Amino acid sequence: MEYYNITVQAFNQLGQSASSAFIRVQTKDVPIKISELPLIEHSSLSLEDKTLHYHLDNSTFLSTKIPLCLRIDISNETNICQRIVTSSGILDINEKNIKYIRNLSICLDQYEDYCGESVLIKISKSIFLSFV
């Protein structure tokens, strides 16, 4: 991380008042490019089980040596970022959020705004047919 100290000064043209502000800006070093994040190859949401199934590009996932999370975007402009340790798996989803989930993206863990491309989540629902 790097820090920058910035001082801003302002004077009115008549010279009757002056003001200054001090700002300290912090940058975050990101250990990977967005283009190097693994791709989400498949994702589906099971309404019955309240689970999200995901599968990432395994070779890219294995070569990435930093913690990742799946960011689940919810329709009320919020998101949930769940840390992942495998290239495929199942995540439990809170029942109150399940019908508002919009899309999914892979992100650096603790950098939820540093994400790859968002993908739509396929919704799976079991249909039982009964013939009498």
Give one DSSP letter per residue of 44-108, joined into a string.
Answer: EEETTTTEEEEEE-HHHHHH--S-EEEEEEETTTEEEEEEE-SSEEEEE--TTTGGGEEEEEEEE
Mean pLDDT of 35-60: 90
Domain 34-124 sits in CATH at 2.60.40.3580
| The predicted structure's pLDDT at residue 5 | 77
Beta 2-11 vs 18-27: how paired, if at all?
antiparallel
Of 18 and 44, the structure prediction assigns the larger pLDDT to: 44
| The predicted structure's pLDDT at residue 84 | 93
Q: What percent of the chain has pLDDT over 70?
A: 89
Cross-strand bridge partners of residue 25? 4
Q: What percent of the chain has pLDDT over 90?
A: 27
- Contact partners, residue 22, CB within 8 Å, separation at least 6: 5, 6, 7, 8
pLDDT band at 126 (very low <50, low <70, confident <90, very high): low
The yes-or-no verdict on residue 2 having pLDDT over 70 is no
Please provide residue 41's backbone torsions phi and psi, each rounded to the nearest 5 degrees: -85, -30
- Contact partners, residue 49, CB within 8 Å, separation at least 6: none
| The predicted structure's pLDDT at residue 68 | 93
**Per-residue model confidence as pLDDT tens digits over 50-98:** 999 999 998 888 888 889 999 999 887 788 899 999 999 999 988 888 8
Mean pLDDT of 118-132: 72
